[in-house]
């Protein structure tokens, strides 16, 4: 695998040769990295699991609008390009690819300022985001929200009198224009109340040209985000934090073409729009010497429209046939969560006392779905015609109630043992317009046992045994009767790793190796019921298999001197089915969207006069697009470059994303969509081509 990778990556090899000829000259240090998603907000090097963190400096330097554009820099993280923006994520091969129908039950948790957007991660715009944390593997005994495969946590900039306000403007190719402002500080006449507010708007065409309509904006991106945070120190021992957000993604959706190009032929382009409002309120009481009390309440309301021209063509392109289909799904999701945590206090008078947490978590979710499909087909040669006009409505409610705990204690010299447990009950109620009504209830159990040891002041090692779960459920709409429901999934895992810092903090190296077994693995499969009806796909989940995965994550950061630093992020993954009841041919086949390698490396060059330049190269191996077929993507490498000038209160930056205009795919379907014979064919959605941009920022 490595030989195959290196033989196709001469640009990466050349970059490494440059890095090897740079010598160490000074004593710059790496700042302490705090994981805010961990219950005690600990230093990342002491947490016994694999973590990737993107700080505000890295996010700003990337000059990107959305989290999906940063995913190539994160080992063993992938996304499904099923819509205009990334909504579904896969960590170590675990995660959904789409959800046209079905009860929401995501494998990957996604939170923004403690507000749960799991499964609807399109809200991940980046303006005024302070840190993004990717916690791989189960986090069930450390955090309220449970997730089978991992957690992504986005944290916006906290209120502070020291954090500068800013105005930012960006123009770029694809007719992109974006502008934002962020303000913060102390409220007038009150030193105990601090605020931070921001507003940002982005608009671009979406990199597609619709030849049928003579338009370049049918896949457009119009994205507005507003955030407001408030910190109120009511007393020395009581802090209240309020986070509020509004994200309006009014995006088009016209991303697939008959010839797999960026030229569209659809006469009825769709939408991939999401409007989300969310708030969280966090109260921290630290007046007791034995414990700290935290209470977190959050609510969110999201309205989502996903529609598309299902035939991808127009009247002229299909002559002499009439072939015109359209599909629209409207989704309204409301969530409300309440979490209460008791944590060991850092005021304890007992030296070396254990660190612990006991918590409860409740999540109520309500989701209404309306699916509307229309279509006409007429074949004058075989004298066949068909008309489609169907509508489907459903209502889903669930209540998840959990208790969890984690206990850390020192044992021996520089060693620590950690035990975590979680118990969860999930009650659901479902009804739809097809007269299906179900109310299953399920109780699940998870936990972890970890051992950590400090081998020296600079090196920490750990081993972690864990069990995580994902609730069972049922399939909606048209599905085989014997596949109407499916059972819960369990994942058993072990992970071991080293976290180290050398040379006065100038060299940081972290490595983790993992092995997971998935029992009753839930697999989302699809089937086209009617060959000439592209809207007749059936998507359903089944306990089709047992699986296993092995892999590695490693990241290296090396500050060479005041001028140069470089980094390397590497992910290796082998995630496969080792059993598959209905399709034996899939045994030992890789799961979908699980590339064997992901790598990101880069150089950051800065001069004392403010000039800077950055070069990054990202590479990804081929991966299967889906379980229902054996079609793969092509491996690819993306080069990004940024350079500019930065002063105390302003900066200007030029960016060149996808510098070599690499042609690559982020999603693929294999089915028949071309009359009259409808031969099965691979259709892919392309990633974004080269883009040149200019960003100006003023701080005050």
Question: Tens of pLDDT along 251-265?
Answer: 999 999 999 999 999
CA distance 287 to 239: 11
β-strand pairing of 77-79 with 150-156: unpaired
CA distance 120 to 110: 8
Q: What is the pLDDT of residues 290-317, one digit of tens each?
A: 899 999 999 999 999 999 999 999 999 9
- DSSP per-residue codes, 613-629: EEEEEEEE---BS-SSS
Residue 191: the pLDDT is 81
Do the Cβ atoms of 510 and 519 come closer than 8 Å? no
Residue 38: the pLDDT is 60
Least confident interval from 97-111, 245-259, 261-275, 554-568: 97-111
Query: Which tokens is 220 given?
Result: 């457009």
Q: Which residues contact 7 (CB under 8 A, 6 or more apart)?
A: none
**3-state secondary structure at position 253:** strand
Query: CB atoms < 10 A from the CB of 40, how many?
Result: 20
CA distance 104 to 365: 9
φ/ψ of 350, rounded to 5, equals -95, 115
Query: Which tokens is 279 given?
Result: 């708030």
Q: Using CB atoms within 10 A of its CB, is residue 242 exposed (0-12), middle (13-18) or buried (19+)? A: middle
β-strand pairing of 209-210 with 263-264: parallel
* Residue 629 Ramachandran class (φ > 0 left, ψ -120 to 50 alpha, else beta): beta
Residue 40: the pLDDT is 57
- DSSP per-residue codes, 292-359: EEEEEEEEEEEEEEEEEETT---HHHHTTSEEEEEEEEEEEEEEEEEEEEEEE-TT-SSTT--EEEEE
The helix (run of H) or strand (run of E) holding residue 7 is helix 2-7
Q: What is the CA radius of gyration of the chain?
A: 25
CA distance 71 to 154: 13
CA distance 415 to 418: 10
Residue 507 pLDDT class (50, 70, 90 cuts):
very high
Residue 261: the pLDDT is 95
CA distance 191 to 12: 51
- DSSP per-residue codes, 153-213: EEEEPPP-SSSPPEEEEEEETTTEEEEEEEEEEEPTT-TTEEEEEEEEEEEE--S-EETTT
Residue 350: the pLDDT is 46
CA distance 507 to 74: 19
Nearest partner of 283 among 216, 230, 345, judged by Cα: 230
Residue 617 pLDDT class (50, 70, 90 cuts):
very high
Q: Which residues contact 112 (CB under 8 A, 6 or more apart)?
A: 123, 124, 153, 154, 155, 156, 245, 278
Residue 376: the pLDDT is 95
Mean of per-residue pLDDT scores for the chain = 89
The helix (run of H) or strand (run of E) holding residue 556 is strand 537-559
Least confident interval from 237-246, 280-289, 469-478, 637-646: 469-478
Residue 63 pLDDT class (50, 70, 90 cuts):
confident
Nearest partner of 79 among 593, 676, 557, judged by Cα: 593
CA distance 547 to 141: 24
Q: Given a cut of 50, is residue 14 above it in pLDDT?
A: no
CA distance 684 to 252: 18
CA angle 470, 475, 479 (to 5 degrees): 145
Query: Which tokens is 295 given?
Result: 């209470």
Rounded average pLDDT over 194-203: 97
β-strand pairing of 355-379 with 636-646: unpaired
Q: What is the pLDDT of residues 344-384, one digit of tens each?
A: 987 654 445 788 999 999 999 999 999 999 999 999 988 88
Q: DSSP letter at 255?
A: -
* Residue 63 Ramachandran class (φ > 0 left, ψ -120 to 50 alpha, else beta): left
Domains by residue range for the chain, with CATH? 2-699 (2.40.170.20)
**3-state secondary structure at position 442:** strand
Residue 348: the pLDDT is 52
Do the Cβ atoms of 256 and 309 come closer than 8 Å? no
Rounded average pLDDT over 661-682: 93
Query: Which tokens is 7 given?
Result: 């033989």
CA distance 48 to 455: 14
């Amino acid at each position: 695998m490595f030989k195959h990778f290196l033989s196709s990556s001469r640009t990466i090899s050349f970059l490494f040769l440059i890095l090897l000829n740079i010598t160490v000259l000074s004593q710059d240090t790496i700042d302490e990295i705090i994981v805010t998603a961990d219950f005690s907000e600990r230093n990342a090097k002491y947490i016994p699991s694999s973590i990737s963190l993107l700080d505000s400096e890295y996010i700003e330097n990337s000059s990107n609008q959305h989290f999906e554009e940063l995913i190539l820099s994160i080992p063993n993280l992938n996304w499904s390009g099923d819509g205009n923006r990334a909504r579904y994520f896969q960590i170590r091969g675990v995660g959904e690819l789409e959800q046209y129908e079905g009860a929401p039950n995501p494998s990957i948790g996604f939170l923004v300022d403690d507000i749960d957007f799991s499964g609807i991660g399109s809200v991940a715009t980046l303006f005024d985001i302070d840190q993004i944390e990717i916690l791989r593997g189960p986090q069930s005994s450390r955090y309220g929200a449970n997730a089978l495969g991992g957690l992504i946590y986005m944290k916006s900039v906290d209120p502070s009198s020291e954090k500068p306000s800013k105005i930012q403007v960006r123009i770029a190719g694809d007719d992109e224009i974006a502008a934002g402002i962020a303000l913060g500080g102390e409220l007038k006449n009150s030193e105990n109340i601090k605020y931070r507010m921001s507003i940002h708007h982005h608009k671009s065409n979406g990199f597609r040209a619709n030849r049928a309509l003579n338009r370049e904006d049918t896949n457009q991106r119009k994205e507005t985000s507003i955030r407001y945070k408030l910190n109120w120190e009511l007393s020395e021992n009581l802090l209240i934090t309020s986070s509020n957000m509004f994200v309006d993604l009014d995006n088009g959706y016209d991303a697939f073409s008959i010839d797999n190009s960026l030229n569209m032929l659809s006469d009825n382009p769709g939408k991939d729009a999401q409007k989300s409002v969310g708030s969280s309120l966090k109260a921290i009481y630290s007046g007791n010497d034995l414990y700290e009390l935290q209470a977190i309440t959050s609510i969110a309301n999201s309205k989502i429209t996903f529609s598309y021209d299902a035939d991808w063509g127009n009247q002229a392109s299909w002559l002499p046939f009439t072939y015109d289909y359209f599909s629209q799904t409207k989704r309204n999701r409301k969530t409300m969560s309440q979490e209460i945590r008791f944590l060991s206090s850092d005021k304890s008078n007992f030296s070396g006392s254990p660190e612990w947490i006991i918590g409860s978590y409740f999540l109520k979710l309500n989701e209404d779905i309306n699916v509307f499909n229309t279509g006409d087909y007429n074949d004058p040669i075989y004298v066949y015609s068909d008309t489609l006009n169907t509508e489907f409505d459903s209502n889903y409610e669930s209540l998840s109630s959990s208790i969890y705990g984690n206990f850390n204690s020192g044992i021996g010299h520089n060693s620590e043992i950690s035990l975590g447990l979680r118990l969860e009950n999930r009650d659901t109620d479902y009804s739809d317009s097809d007269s299906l009504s179900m109310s299953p209830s399920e109780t699940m159990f998870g936990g972890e046992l970890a051992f950590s040891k400090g081998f020296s002041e600079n090196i920490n090692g750990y081993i972690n045994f864990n069990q995580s779960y994902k609730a069972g459920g049922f399939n909606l709409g048209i599905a085989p009767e014997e596949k109407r429901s499916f059972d819960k999934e369990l994942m058993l895992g072990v992970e071991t790793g080293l976290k180290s810092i050398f040379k006065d903090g100038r060299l940081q190296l972290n490595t983790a190796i993992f092995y997971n077994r998935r029992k009753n693995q839930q697999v989302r499969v699809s089937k086209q019921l009617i060959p000439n009806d592209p809207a007749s796909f059936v998507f359903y989940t089944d306990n089709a298999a047992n699986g296993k995965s092995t892999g590695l994550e490693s990241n290296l950061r090396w500050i060479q001197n005041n001028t140069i630093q470089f980094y390397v992020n590497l992910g290796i993954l082998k995630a496969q089915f080792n059993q598959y009841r209905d399709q034996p041919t899939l045994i030992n086949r890789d799961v979908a969207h699980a590339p064997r390698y992901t790598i990101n490396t880069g150089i950051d060059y800065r001069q004392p006069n403010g000039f800077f330049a950055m070069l990054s190269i990202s590479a990804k191996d081929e991966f299967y697009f889906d379980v229902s077929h054996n079609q793969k993507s092509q491996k690819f490498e993306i080069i990004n470059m940024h350079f500019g000038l930065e002063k105390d209160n302003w900066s200007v930056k030029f960016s060149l994303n996808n510098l070599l205009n690499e042609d690559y795919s982020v999603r693929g379907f294999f089915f028949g969509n071309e009359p009259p014979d409808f031969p099965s064919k691979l259709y892919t959605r392309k990633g974004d081509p080269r883009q040149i941009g200019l960003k100006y920022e003023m701080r005050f």
